[in-house]
Structure 1
Amino acid sequence: MIPVLEIGGTHVTAALVDLPGRRVVHRIRSPLDPHGGAGDILEGIRRCAAGAPAPRGARWGVAVPGPFDYVKGIALFAGVGKFEALYGVDVRAALLGGVWRRPGDVVFLNDAHAFLAGEWCGGAARGHRRAVGVTLGTGVGSAFLADGLIREDGSGVPPGGRMDLTEVGGRPLEDSVSRRAILVRYGDPAADVRDIADRARAGEERARRVLADALTLLGAALGPRLAAFGATALVVGGSMARSWDLVSPALRGGLASGGWVPDDGESGDGPDGTQPPGAPAGAARHTRAVVPAGSADDAALIGAARAAATG
């Protein structure tokens, strides 16, 4: 069993992963205050990790959002609205003894990279040679994968594979597509994104328009890059993907306007772009699939375990 941590914008998950079986066999999830002090954040991670019965001497895989120095294990959070108290902290050293026993007992990787690698192993990107993943939550995470390997450069790939650094209209993408951007535009300090989604389903035009505009813009920014990269799948994860009924139409429209026209198939598609079992004979293969995460909360954990096993 491979022990893993997945650190999100407001939570941390510790788990054990059976990598050959692509299964999460033990999981514990705890809240994190992204605006708390460094000591509190690190102690929260340490307590959560203690709940996973890691094999003695095992190497941990740790999925963490950027900006972060994944080789050195140093947090570089600044200007992203979370974990800024950790800026400059050597997380590898800070958790030494409390989580892992030796500096080499941990492999850090970007959480979006872990997510897409996990989806490629056994989720919605399985069977696709070239796939892109985005995670929509407190910010926009992204990953580009070809033949099972994460790519950080090449045709269509933004620097470092980071769509959050892409500028749209002279401003960073996350100024328009992120939890904070959506809340600012909606203008109700008592509402969260989930509340806005509920109001959009209930027919509130302002809520529907705020979400649709953000997701259409995201699709328009992604479209040219997916086309240049030759992607046959876009996999969407993160908390906002749970509102797939609202995310999908606007995102697909934006992708089409950006030159990457999705096939007509929707959520019933098989994860490898083929029709699911029982589909009519001769049904067309989907060569440009837009799908929600197939492994739910497991993808990043499986991807982190894969990194620990190979890294």
Structure 2
Amino acid sequence: MTKDRKIALGVDIGGSHITAAAVCLDQFEVIPGTSINQKLDSKASKEAILEAWAGTIREALSHRACNESMELAGIGIAMPGPFDYPNGVAMFAGNDKYECLYRVDVRKPLSALINIPEEKIHFFNDASSFAVGAALQQQVLHKRTVALTLGTGFGAAFLLNALPTIEDALIPENGCLWDKEFKDGIADDYFSTRWFVRKYRAMTGETHTGVREIVASHSEAKHEVFQEFVENLTVFLSPHLEKFNAEALLIGGNIARSHHLFVEALRDTLGVPLGLQIEIVEDTENCNMLGASHLMKLDYWKQQAALKAFF
């Protein structure tokens, strides 16, 4: 039987989970029923982690949608940093996750474990993957877009000409925001879960493990916390958005699920003054998988290498 449609396997790997699903490359949609999600122990051995990744990918690939009249174009994997994405080498050190993979070429053993050629396995930054997937979903891929992921860390990506860019005079160094100076520390200290936990504890004396628990509380202090969060984010982001001439701001991650407590205020402080479209994207994992699949189809790293050689 002729395989007349191409699919990709989109994979989203986080510090405590892996999700994989088949993605139709014609419509760039996750094929219903193909998504597999597993919890991970990032402190496990190298062999255990790679087998856990491979097991989830094998299970997703075994779905009939991946076998019936469809050709697997490749696998796009959204991965947190630090990671040598073009070469598939993990650089996790001092990150409290996957440290046993430091300097390990994970593409080679993963290829053997899932029986897929190495050249079909592609790695991309998770924030960049989210940006592309969310921009596709929100139909703003043609706009100058900044995408943020707010969760255990503060991720960011800048889209120019429909692709993530990390080398441009209009964006911060490496296209990252998490490590840029802000107040008494860096941005990651103020726009991640730990800031909400610390700030809420300072106001109430109560300790919660995450933003969801803070939002569920009956204390009025949560409104003050989110108000300060909006004030901080506005001060920090404004110069970066203005310099980039941003037209759209997409926000995802676990904290985005609490958008009812901050997005309208953010539209008032950032959206209106800058003429900026602000959208909340709640299905971050799907966007990561869609974005990684899209970048895989474009052979993004080969494109970047060609551009560098040209210029």
Q: Is TM > 0.5 for Structure 1 vs Structure 2?
A: yes
State whether residues 128 and 233 of structure 1, in contact with CA within 8 Å, keep that contact through their aligned partners in structure 2: no
* Aligned counterpart, 1:275: none
1:262 aligns with 2:268: no
Please identify which structure carries the higher helix content: 2
Residue 101 (structure 1) aligns with: 116
Question: Identity rate of aligned residues, in percent?
Answer: 32
Q: Deviations over 1:256-306 (max 9, x none)?
A: 3xxxx3139xxxxxxxxxxxxxxxxxxxxx941111017654221111111
Aligned to 1:268: none
Instruction: Tell me how far 1:174 sits from its aligned partner.
Output: 1.0
* Structure 2 residue corresponding to 1:232, chosen from 232, 241, 247: 247
Structure-2 change in CA distance of 1:137 and 1:40 (3 Å):
farther
Q: Relative to structure 1, is the Cα distance of residues 109 and 127 closer, same or farther in structure 2, using a 3 angstrom cutoff?
A: closer
Summarize the Cα distance change of 1:126–1:294 in structure 2 as closer, same or farther, 3 Å threshold. farther
1:196 equivalent in alignment to 2:214:
yes
Output one character per residue of 1:167-193: Cα deviation in whole Å (capped at 9) or x when no partner: 112522112221233323434555322
Q: Indicate the residue corresponding to 1:12 in structure 2.
A: 18
- 1:71 CA drift (Å): 1.2
Q: What is the CA distance between 1:250 and its match in structure 2?
A: 5.2
Q: Is the 8 A contact 2:111 2:121 kept in 1?
A: no
What's the offset of the Cα at 1:223?
Answer: 1.3
Counting only pairs closer than 5 Å after superposition, residues 33-44 of structure 1 correspond to structure 2 as 33-44=41-52
Query: 1:243, 1:108 → 2: CA distance?
Result: 30
Note the C-alpha offset of 1:237. Answer: 0.7
Q: Is the 8 A contact 1:125 1:131 kept in 2?
A: no
Q: Which residue of 1 aligns with 2:189?
A: 175
Contact kept in structure 2, 1:119 and 1:294, CA below 8 Å: no
Find 2:153's aligned residue among 117, 139, 149.
139
What's the counterpart of residue 89 of structure 1?
104
Contact 2:111 2:117 (8 Å CA) reproduced = yes
Match in the other structure for 2:281: 293
Q: RMSD over aligned Cα, in angstroms?
A: 2.4
- Residue pair 2:9, 2:72 contacting (<8 A) in 1 also: no
- Paired residue total: 280
Letter in 2 for 1:197: V
8 Å Cα contact 1:156-1:228 kept in structure 2: yes
| Equivalent residue letter for 1:157 | I
Report the TM-score, using the length of structure 1 for normalisation: 0.81
Per-residue CA shift, 1:55-89, capped at 9, x if unaligned?
Answer: 67642111111111101111122343433333222
C-alpha deviation, 1:238, in angstroms:
0.9
Structure 1 residue 308 corresponds to structure 2 residue 296: yes
Once the two structures are superposed, the pairs formed by residues 39-58 of structure 1 within 5 Å of their partners are: 39-53=47-61, 54=66, 58=73
Equivalent residues of 2:143, 2:248 under 8 A apart: no
Match of 1:2 in 2: 8
Unmatched 5+ stretches in structure 2: 1-6, 300-311
- The question of whether the paired residues in 2 share the 8 Å contact of 1:124 and 1:292 is answered with no
Answering whether residue 82 of structure 2 is matched by residue 64 of structure 1, we say no
* Matched letter for residue 301 of structure 1: M
CA distance in 1, matches of 2:242, 2:229: 20
Q: Is the contact between residue 2 and residue 19 of structure 1 (CA under 8 Å) also seen in structure 2?
A: yes
1:139-198 CA-to-partner distances (Å, cap 9, x unmatched) read 111110022121113244111111111111252211222123332343455532210122
Query: Deviation string for 1:81-128 (max 9, x for gaps)?
Result: 43333322222123121135322121111111111111222x225264
For the structure 1 residues 243 and 190, does the alpha-carbon distance in structure 2 shift closer, same or farther, using more than 3 Å as the test? closer
TM-score by length of 2: 0.81
